[in-house]
Structure 1
Amino acid sequence: MKMNRLGYRGLLLAACATSIYAAPAFAQQQAPAAAEEQPVEEVIVTATRRETALQSVAVAVTAIGAEAIQSAGVKDIRDLTQLAPSLQVPVSENSGSVTARIRGVGTQGSNPGLESSVGVVIDGVFRARNSVAFGDLGEIRAIEVLRGPQGTLFGRNTSAGLINVTTKKPSFEFGTSGDATFGNYGLGGIGLGITGPLIEDKLAGRLYVTARARDGYMNVNNGTARTESNDTNYYAVRGQLLYTPSETFDARLIVDVASRAEACCAAAVWLRDVRVPSTTDIINKISPNGLQTSRNLNSYLASANRTYDQDIDDQGFSLEANWDVGFGKLTSITAKRNWKRVAGADSDYTGADILYSLKSEGAGAEFDTFSQEFRYAGTVGKLDWLVGTIYAKETLNNHVRFRTGNDYQAYIGALLGPALALASPSLAVNPLNPAVTNTQLAGVVSTWQSILGVTPANIGTLAGGGGQFDDYVQESESLALFTHNIYQFNDDFSVTLGLRYTSEDKNFRASYRTLGNTGCTAIENRLGLDAARNAGALAGVVGAICAPWMRSALDGMDHRQKKSENEWSGIVSAAYRFAPNINSYVSYSRGYKAGGFNLDRAFSDLQNNLVTSIVSPGVGNRTVRQPDTSFAAETVDAYEVGLKTQWFNRALTANFAAYHQTFENFQLNTFTGISFVVTAVPEVVSQGVEFDYVLRTPVDGLTLTGGAAYSLTEYTKNLGAASQPSTFLGQNPNLYLLPGAQLTSSPVWTYGSALNYERSVLSDKALFKAYADFRTITDTITGSNLDPRKTQPGYTLFNARLALSTADERWTVELWGRNLTDERYAQITFDAPLQGDAPALTNQPAVGGFAPRPINSQINAFVGEPRTYGLTLRWSY
């Protein structure tokens, strides 16, 4: 069920009134006595699927508790970047494109065929992709950010790290809590929770409901008016039951439903096409004021004549049961989830009507997943052992919908040259030069005739409404066996050995349908499928007309592929305690990220699977071959040393880690300005050092936390040459900037700190809290082809929160702000579709071989959120 913004705000007001009315009854309960000063509590984490002290576990972990999460205003995983220096979470064209990066490594782009490098586990259940996990997390107990490969215990798609989220369980003591938030950009939000016993000491329940709405911060110009995009509008419901019939058995059932109805995501112009005439000039001739390029980033200004509306529905359940059986504990986790997104988009990001997709035509993706995990763990003497197995099944449907708009023909015609417009009655003159009419195109027509054997009029027109309607289905099944064992030789020294075997089968099928482009069909019949490769002088012309969404050669093909993988992953580590509060470890781990299929149109005449032949007069036989869209599995070998220390009676915690990771067949998804291309880069090396600390200062109530990360995450230099077809650059000349360069969205330095201060005020009748944090990153290139024009200069983000609560913290009012300095920055930049040439090497005989072609593409950017601020009221009984 969808709720509009008015409905959300009505719910918010009603909930506030109900909660406030009910509060006095709860207030009559006895307030707890003031807590006496306690020693520093030991932080417990579950990084090894066991509860272990943070300072003892031989893994680099950032552990974030419930209080820190509330102070930092964390609503979903994207907000964690302020608290975990090694974590990056950029967002691009829609809510399905959220990707997490740890130590500079993550999955690039929104192609759903690529699985995650950073896994997300919520209450023991692995989420299919990062985007599926990014929503309101509800009542969080703790979040752990595990750095480095975590595949032994958590699965195949954690080659860079893991975000492990645990929520609060039902309680056998009655309690209720809630919060109401108001802020700028029309923000309104409500969260309500209740927990308590249903059957004394046997069955407890917990229910959490939230809704949130906020206006968009992107101002969208459509040529004549302004609208908005990048808003927030969602609700979520999460219910739990905890069953404890005996001391040896417990079961926890979680059911959740969430829905979003938002507009996401519009893009601003980062760098305009500076040619004369430019693509901007063409667009503004076709559609007056269709593309504004002045101060777009600073004014959050985008251009579009179509909407970015999207609906996302997410629901699922999990059942976890624990038995004390024999000499260990048996754990079973059964889970089923469904996530679906349908979305429309202005795919050219301009006010001209060139390319678009409609939500009503079903563009989007859907994941349906089922998993069953069993673990058996126990202790025998000095051995802490764990064995397990997990079965997972996933069905992925991806529906790609692109249509050409009413301005497509005029725009493509203008791109063909200053004096060329397609010879069609619907375009009598060239938009760039109205003095040039179709009667003056005799020379151009004769050129087309000599190469194609037909005139432009016979090629056909590029009328609006044509385009691409493709459907992809990927079904995968995996079975894994794993073990993780810790042998404690003595109080100070232990060794960990873990191993996992994963077997996975994937089946892929695709159906292609191209609408309304007789022009491209004629070109394919003359020149074959890869027209740009064979057309010589017409490479630019054919490449523009026969863009992937307009090529019809694969229509009607029953395209099927299969892929099977059998991989080992594991860990070997040793931990040594030098002193009671000084622990060290060294480890080697191997991670694995599954291969798969590119769920986007991919074309090649170079594959070995012949589909059909086309016979064309004067040209001869041309073959159209079934594309091989598969890509290989990604593996990583990682070495790490760490030191975990506490000083001054545990007032200072200081932890260090150094690592070296080598990735093979690194999966890269690149947008070329025309299509998404998935490639496997032979090698990526990530190495660096990390430091984090917690300092409980001598000032009563003042705590400082922070950290820094130095990461050199680079493509190796030896990636071949464009002149060598068997090498990476020979097959990907558009990625010639990669060798030796830092990865996308991977700053070399990231550092930040947070201040948390609290003290009693008003004669101990109230409690005052102050929180502030900052995060700084150095320069980073935000585009996957590493075009240096896409460099985002380093910047710093500041957040703060002031709170005043009653002494028992039953009532709290908070004043908060995020991005307080209103920093304007790009999360992801990309080559604007059909607007200039992106970086590529081309064969240029004049210079004696392959050389970079001129780079003149216009660059767009998905912009980070501006300054936001507001007021939050919390209550808890």
Structure 2
Amino acid sequence: MTLRNLLLGATMLCAATPPAFAFAQDSAPAGDAAAPADTVDTVDYGNDIIVTASKRSQTLQDTPVAVSVTSAADLENSQIRDLIDLQSSVPSLRVGQLQSSANTNFIIRGFGNGANNPGIEPSVGVFIDGVYRSRSAAQIGDLPNVERIEVLRGPQSTLFGKNASAGVISIITRKPQFEFGGSLEASYGNYDAVVIKGDITGPISDTIAFSIGGNYNRRDGYARDLNLDADVNDRNRWGVRGQLLFEPTDALSIRLIGDYDKIDENCCIAGNVVAGPTVAITNALVGGRSVDANNPFSYDVYNNFLSTNLIKNYGGSAQIDYDLGNMALTSITAYREVRADANQDSDFTSADLIGQKSDDTAINTFTQELRLASDFDGPLNFLVGGYYFHEKIDQHSQIYFGDDFRPYGNALIQTASGGALSVPVLEGTLGALEGDPAKYAGSFFRAGDGMDEYYRMKNTAWSIFGTVDFEVTDRLTVTFGGNYTKDKKRFATDVTSTDVFSGIDLDAAAYAPFRNTLLFQGGLAQQVGEVLGLGRSATAGEIGAFAGANPAVFGAISTAVQAFANANQNNPAANPLNPLKAFQFLPPFLNLPNAVEPGKTNDSDFAWSARAAYELTDTVNVYATYATGFKASSVNLSRDSRPLASDLPAILAGGLGTPNLVAGTRFAGPEESEVYEFGLKGQWSVAAVNLAVFKQSIKGFQSNIFTGTGFALANAGKQSTWGVEFDGSVRPVDGLNLTLAVTWLDPKYDSFTGSAFGDISGTKPSGIPELSAAMGATYTARVGNGNRAIFHVDYLYESPTRLVDGLQGFPAGFSDQFKREVNQLNASFTFALNNGLELGVWGRNLTNARYLTTIFPAVAQSGSVSGYPNQPRTYGVTGRFKF
């Protein structure tokens, strides 16, 4: 028995199967025709589909794991270009792209996080050919020759060195072959979209095979910047990937992979969902329209500079598989680098408010996995492994005010004070009270001021993991597994704020006379207005007239108001300058490590699983699983990083405090997940069924909420969901394959008292549809001598759901009115000739359904809400040649 037959999954960290419906197709895709029958990656489209979700050779029916897999044929038929498109085929998976091409969030069964903040490791782990990709920028790409994409649902602990608390996405590309072959694909679509992909594989010698592939993906923007007269939200990415396979003996296999890909595109537009009072100000600043107010689906935007996204992702891996007879040894070594440089007009208006909002991130990752798997004839088998992970993250961020920010700030202060104050008045008054009237002249909201930020983090982790399978009877197998993980992080910040106004303590004793004057003036206007029955504060003219006509009454009112002002000039709750605190956007930053905060975390955990699988009949299996998962602490590498409430007293007592310092989070503690799951799998000659019923929860779920200028990172006490997943297929007639995948979820925050929106315990988490369904039909008709006509259609439905848990600066419940409902229809027709040539037409989101992927408070624009609209309808033609 060769190594490849011994461990079908030994060449990948996790391999699963094509969907249950894959066997119903008439034949394997042409691209697989050259693969030897015993190759581990070969997909059996007969009745016994071979899978290795448990890292052992089993049929789909025998695999007691909740897994969905999208095959190469499905990727082609649905024109799935990247992981964002993948959710249309897997209803338990949600993928969202946020403010840049480097920020993608993956959610399985309602659990997932990690985008926007490089210090947060995702709860959904992504692996490509067995190599863990720790951040989303390293996960997006048009990989050449993808064989299948597998989505494992629920915590994956005992088979993975890198623990994933919510699930795993595993992408498997085809290994080099010892028979010459390859493919070339070219596609053209609307928005002048051009996609070219190709690969070639073959032998170098009897023991060495190679493959090399490349991809190019370019598209004009589907949105229009009317201020800059330019297309935006374009696509421009390319990559190359090479592999060498050494098989000097039947017992030894070495697979070397090297890849490089690059993204250089403009992303991502945000439309105006709610036009708040600041829109009138920005319109006045630009002398026209600054946003397309309340119309996020016009795909017309107004910016004052084009956003940029430059991402480079490259690395290599070496996998060694060695056959020891009745055991197999596997080693996977990998080193990767990601360089992401993004700059965005983050106020999303044509006014030059935010002149620069850039993030330059460097991520270097080294991983090493070693595992040993048995293949004994007896009832007992095992898998044991060790895993090492080392990562270094350096991020340089900058946010600077633009040329319009000073007049914008002046308008905000005038509005908030009812015209009583302005930026020059504030600068002169506060400076005079400090002994120098010119001290702040021209410095409030000055163009070019802002924050210069440096964040660093080093993460070292290791784990020991394994499973034991015991066949109690020919039909009953029990499995136990465990994973002990040790994770250490060290992090540091070097952040400087030059936002002068944000560094002023408006409660300071030096400003008491100013507060006294404002309290007196405001109180007098209010009292006179009440006496006159105006229903508002009196104007200066009305006060003067009242004083002349009623000197005695006015004197009594004036005395009482002055007494109130004297008593409350140092009362923070009555401070008349409090409304101005909302405009202190970028306060001074307390860096760490410092005398109180060491800037490090140290976590450890033992996760385990127990499963019983029983073969009811030769075609029906059932299983029951209990499993736990773990994710270590995540770090808030953003300008909203603030001391924990427990550390703040010691910081202030030690004289380390900075002006306007408040408590927040430096890091969020670990996530601990668990799942109770019951599953049924049935497979017959014309149908297949997979059913899973589960209760899954995560204690300490790491919530990352955008606040308008940064991110608030916090642990939820507990988030849980009941759910049912159904995945079935049927072939009613020869050539026709019908599929249906349905997910029903009932999620809630069992406990979340410290959210960014207060206590939201007992509420339903946002962004998680109660019902998701993916339906598909593929009909393959034989035409002539070996030619095929392939008709494919699929439809994705997601029931209405709230977009966000809340919005900073808005009343509780305000955001509940904004919901997302997805109705997406995709279709394709392909004519495949018997000589390997294929021609086809395709379309995605054919009904041009529109919805917002998420919403957020507009940057520095109180009362306004921005949101990301989904991608509109796309369509095109494709030519493909396989040989």
| TM tier, smaller | 0.7 to 0.9
Alpha-carbon RMSD across the aligned residues, in angstroms, is: 3.2
Alpha-carbon contact 2:507-2:572 (below 8 Å) kept:
no
534 and 333 in structure 1: CA distance in 2 versus 1, 3 angstrom threshold = farther
The secondary structure found in structure 2 opposite 1:481 is: strand
Q: What residue number does 1:681 align with?
A: 716
Alpha-carbon separation, structure 2, partners of 1:203 and 1:303: 55
How far residue 663 of structure 1 moved from its aligned partner, in angstroms, is 1.1
536 and 194 in structure 1: CA distance in 2 versus 1, 3 angstrom threshold = farther
Correspondence for 2:216 among 197, 211, 223: 211
Q: What residue number does 2:671 align with?
A: 634
Describe how 1:121-270 pairs up with structure 2 within 5 A. 121-200=127-206, 202-222=207-227, 225-270=228-273
Alpha-carbon separation, structure 2, partners of 1:398 and 1:31: 45
Is 1:494–2:515 an aligned residue pair? no
How far residue 633 of structure 1 moved from its aligned partner, in angstroms, is 0.3
TM-score, L = length of structure 1: 0.83
Is 1:758–2:746 an aligned residue pair? no
Comparing 457-466 with 306-315, greater Cα deviation is found at 457-466
The secondary structure found in structure 2 opposite 1:767 is: strand
The secondary structure found in structure 1 opposite 2:283 is: helix
Comparing 589-598 with 740-749, greater Cα deviation is found at 740-749
Alpha-carbon contact 2:115-2:122 (below 8 Å) kept:
no
Describe how 1:830-869 pairs up with structure 2 within 5 A. 830-836=856-862, 857-869=863-875
Comparing 685-694 with 605-614, greater Cα deviation is found at 605-614
Correspondence for 1:802 among 829, 837, 857: 829
Q: What residue number does 1:715 align with?
A: 749
39 and 267 in structure 1: CA distance in 2 versus 1, 3 angstrom threshold = closer
Partner amino acid, structure 2, of 1:597: V
Q: What residue number does 2:538 align with?
A: none
Q: What residue number does 1:350 align with?
A: 349
Partner amino acid, structure 2, of 1:753: M
Q: What residue number does 1:825 align with?
A: 851
How far residue 604 of structure 1 moved from its aligned partner, in angstroms, is 4.7
Describe how 1:114-513 pairs up with structure 2 within 5 A. 114-200=120-206, 202-222=207-227, 225-273=228-276, 278-294=277-293, 296-325=295-324, 327-357=326-356, 363-380=359-376, 381-418=378-415, 420=417, 458=440, 460-513=443-496
Alpha-carbon contact 2:775-2:796 (below 8 Å) kept:
yes
Correspondence for 1:734 among 736, 754, 757: 757
623 and 92 in structure 1: CA distance in 2 versus 1, 3 angstrom threshold = closer
Q: Which has the larger radius of gyration?
A: 2
Is 1:537–2:575 an aligned residue pair? yes
The secondary structure found in structure 2 opposite 1:772 is: strand
Is 1:63–2:61 an aligned residue pair? no
419 and 518 in structure 1: CA distance in 2 versus 1, 3 angstrom threshold = closer
Alpha-carbon separation, structure 2, partners of 1:420 and 1:282: 15
Partner amino acid, structure 2, of 1:306: F
How far residue 526 of structure 1 moved from its aligned partner, in angstroms, is 3.5
How far residue 626 of structure 1 moved from its aligned partner, in angstroms, is 9.8
Alpha-carbon contact 1:181-1:189 (below 8 Å) kept:
yes
Alpha-carbon contact 2:194-2:219 (below 8 Å) kept:
yes
Partner amino acid, structure 2, of 1:823: A
Q: What residue number does 1:10 align with?
A: none
Alpha-carbon separation, structure 2, partners of 1:669 and 1:157: 20
Correspondence for 2:739 among 678, 698, 705: 705
Correspondence for 1:792 among 819, 843, 849: 819
The secondary structure found in structure 2 opposite 1:512 is: strand
How far residue 98 of structure 1 moved from its aligned partner, in angstroms, is 0.3
How far residue 437 of structure 1 moved from its aligned partner, in angstroms, is 9.2
Q: What residue number does 1:20 align with?
A: none
Q: What residue number does 1:666 align with?
A: 701
The secondary structure found in structure 1 opposite 2:296 is: coil
Alpha-carbon separation, structure 2, partners of 1:479 and 1:370: 12
Correspondence for 2:647 among 595, 603, 608: 608
Alpha-carbon separation, structure 1, partners of 2:192 and 2:310: 20
How far residue 823 of structure 1 moved from its aligned partner, in angstroms, is 1.0
556 and 373 in structure 1: CA distance in 2 versus 1, 3 angstrom threshold = closer
Alpha-carbon contact 1:613-1:621 (below 8 Å) kept:
no
The secondary structure found in structure 2 opposite 1:513 is: strand
756 and 418 in structure 1: CA distance in 2 versus 1, 3 angstrom threshold = same
Alpha-carbon separation, structure 1, partners of 2:382 and 2:874: 48
CA distances 1:126-158 after superposition (whole Å, capped 9, x unpaired): 111233211112211122111111122224441
How far residue 679 of structure 1 moved from its aligned partner, in angstroms, is 0.6
Partner amino acid, structure 1, of 2:226: N
Partner amino acid, structure 2, of 1:403: Y
TM-score, L = length of structure 2: 0.82
Q: What residue number does 2:769 align with?
A: 747
Alpha-carbon separation, structure 1, partners of 2:264 and 2:659: 47
Alpha-carbon separation, structure 2, partners of 1:366 and 1:31: 40
Alpha-carbon separation, structure 2, partners of 1:438 and 1:623: 21
The secondary structure found in structure 2 opposite 1:152 is: coil
Alpha-carbon contact 1:752-1:776 (below 8 Å) kept:
yes
Q: What residue number does 1:851 align with?
A: none
Q: What residue number does 1:582 align with?
A: 620
Unaligned regions of 5+ residues in structure 2, if any? 1-29, 36-43, 511-569, 808-813
Q: What residue number does 2:18 align with?
A: none
Q: What residue number does 2:500 align with?
A: 518
169 and 536 in structure 1: CA distance in 2 versus 1, 3 angstrom threshold = farther
Q: What residue number does 1:21 align with?
A: none
**Matched-pair identity in %:** 30
Alpha-carbon separation, structure 2, partners of 1:308 and 1:784: 28
539 and 597 in structure 1: CA distance in 2 versus 1, 3 angstrom threshold = farther
How far residue 533 of structure 1 moved from its aligned partner, in angstroms, is 12
Q: What residue number does 1:773 align with?
A: 794
Is 1:657–2:678 an aligned residue pair? no
Partner amino acid, structure 2, of 1:130: S
816 and 449 in structure 1: CA distance in 2 versus 1, 3 angstrom threshold = same
How far residue 269 of structure 1 moved from its aligned partner, in angstroms, is 1.1
How far residue 287 of structure 1 moved from its aligned partner, in angstroms, is 1.8
CA distances 1:604-636 after superposition (whole Å, capped 9, x unpaired): 5945365578999xxx99896997602100111
Q: What residue number does 2:520 align with?
A: none
692 and 115 in structure 1: CA distance in 2 versus 1, 3 angstrom threshold = same
Alpha-carbon contact 1:179-1:190 (below 8 Å) kept:
yes
- Number of aligned positions between the proteins: 775
Alpha-carbon contact 2:503-2:660 (below 8 Å) kept:
no
The secondary structure found in structure 1 opposite 2:672 is: strand
Correspondence for 1:596 among 634, 637, 651: 634
Alpha-carbon contact 1:45-1:144 (below 8 Å) kept:
no
How far residue 638 of structure 1 moved from its aligned partner, in angstroms, is 0.9
Alpha-carbon separation, structure 2, partners of 1:451 and 1:657: 69
Alpha-carbon separation, structure 2, partners of 1:136 and 1:445: 54
Alpha-carbon contact 1:314-1:338 (below 8 Å) kept:
yes
621 and 759 in structure 1: CA distance in 2 versus 1, 3 angstrom threshold = closer
Alpha-carbon contact 2:256-2:319 (below 8 Å) kept:
yes
Alpha-carbon contact 1:156-1:592 (below 8 Å) kept:
no
CA distances 1:440-459 after superposition (whole Å, capped 9, x unpaired): x98x8999799999979747
CA distances 1:62-87 after superposition (whole Å, capped 9, x unpaired): 12222122212122222211211101
Alpha-carbon separation, structure 2, partners of 1:703 and 1:99: 32
Alpha-carbon contact 1:452-1:523 (below 8 Å) kept:
no
Comparing 120-129 with 551-560, greater Cα deviation is found at 551-560
The secondary structure found in structure 2 opposite 1:151 is: coil
Partner amino acid, structure 2, of 1:760: R
120 and 168 in structure 1: CA distance in 2 versus 1, 3 angstrom threshold = same
Alpha-carbon separation, structure 2, partners of 1:368 and 1:257: 14
474 and 555 in structure 1: CA distance in 2 versus 1, 3 angstrom threshold = closer
Alpha-carbon separation, structure 2, partners of 1:561 and 1:611: 14
Is 1:568–2:606 an aligned residue pair? yes
Alpha-carbon separation, structure 2, partners of 1:94 and 1:78: 13
